[in-house]
Amino acid sequence: MTELSGDSNTSVPLLAVLDYGIGNLRSAQKALQKVGADARLTNDPHLVDRADGLVLPGVGAFGRCIEALEDAGLRSAAALAAAAASKAVGPPFLGICVGLQMLHEGSDESPGTPGLAVLPGEVRLLGGDIKRPQMQWNRLELPPWAPDHPMFAGLEGDSWAYFVHSYAAPIGASSVAVCQYGTEVCAAEAVGDLWACQFHPEKSGSVGLAVLANFVSLVKARQRDRRSV
């Protein structure tokens, strides 16, 4: 861990970016480092255990990601950590793209492969007369039931984010942002300290960096809470 000299109240939070052999995790790591985290790519359960926050990325097919997570021995750790974060009794947890989708019960993309089932509902193919994948920037809309979630703190005016996906989670009470693509599409979810983005914050320029910085702020706040207990 990096020691910051002269400021005993600040420590750089350790984020475990779960590395289970899927996709390019370097950009997620670099973006988290850019906003002040000690982000490490890891499949080491001990490091995952002592991290101040967890990040579950994912690209490609739902079933392949779930299998790879299992093969890496991280499936139950990820499910338990996400569930604990959702009740705010464990370190904050951030799912990205298929990392969001895997938190649900399953997906049209891979019938018969159960998801982590921390969030309710099935992930469905994007409907309507549109190209799949949605591979573009889209404007985030905050739903009336979550007009000011801390994930988007400090962002003023329209916020645009970069999406690459063909499937999406159902819109429900946990949705904290949506976008329009054929129909209304779930863009981000949050329950307690469990946050998840369908878009790629690490590829969404200044908006994405702000979202990641807000996650790092949440992690730091929980570090302080633990110390003060």
Partner 1 sequence: MRTVRVIPCLDVEDGRVVKGVNFVGLRDAGDPVELAARYDAEGADELVFLDIAASSDARGTTLDMVRRVAEEVFIPFTVGGGIRSVDDARGILRAGADKVSVNTAAVNWPALVGELANEFGSQCVVVAIDARRSSEVPTGFEVFTHGGRTPTGRNLDEWIAEVVDQGAGEILLTSMDRDGTRDGFDIEMLQKVAPVATVPLIASGGVGGLEHLVEGALEGGVDAVLAASIFHFGEYSVSTAKAHLSAAGVTVRPTI
For binding to partner 1 (CB under 8 A), which residues are involved? 23-24, 26-27, 30-31, 34, 59-61, 130-131, 133, 135-139, 158, 160, 162, 164, 179-181, 200, 202-206, 208-209
- Known catalytic residue at 202: yes
In whole angstroms, the minimum distance from the beta carbon of 155 to partner 1 comes to 11
- Known catalytic residue at 179: no
Q: What is the DSSP string of 148-186?
A: T-GGGTT--S-EEEEEEESEEPPPSTTEEEEEEESEEEE
In whole angstroms, the minimum distance from the beta carbon of 192 to partner 1 comes to 27
In whole angstroms, the minimum distance from the beta carbon of 229 to partner 1 comes to 35
In whole angstroms, the minimum distance from the beta carbon of 109 to partner 1 comes to 12
CB nearer to partner 1: give 61 or 79: 61
Q: Considering only CA atoms, which of 97, 83, 76 is closest in space to residue 22? A: 97
Phi, psi dihedrals of residue 13, rounded to the nearest 5°: -70, 140
CA distance 114 to 129: 28
CA distance 152 to 100: 17
CB nearer to partner 1: give 138 or 174: 138
Look up residue 112 and give its DSSP letter. Answer: T
- Known catalytic residue at 149: no
Give me 117's structure tokens.
């089932």
Q: Which candidate in 65, 97, 179, 197 is catalytic?
A: 97
CB nearer to partner 1: give 194 or 213: 213
The residue behind tokens 């300290």 is 193
CB nearer to partner 1: give 34 or 87: 34
Q: Would you please indicate which residues are annotated as catalytic (active-site) residues?
A: 97, 200, 202
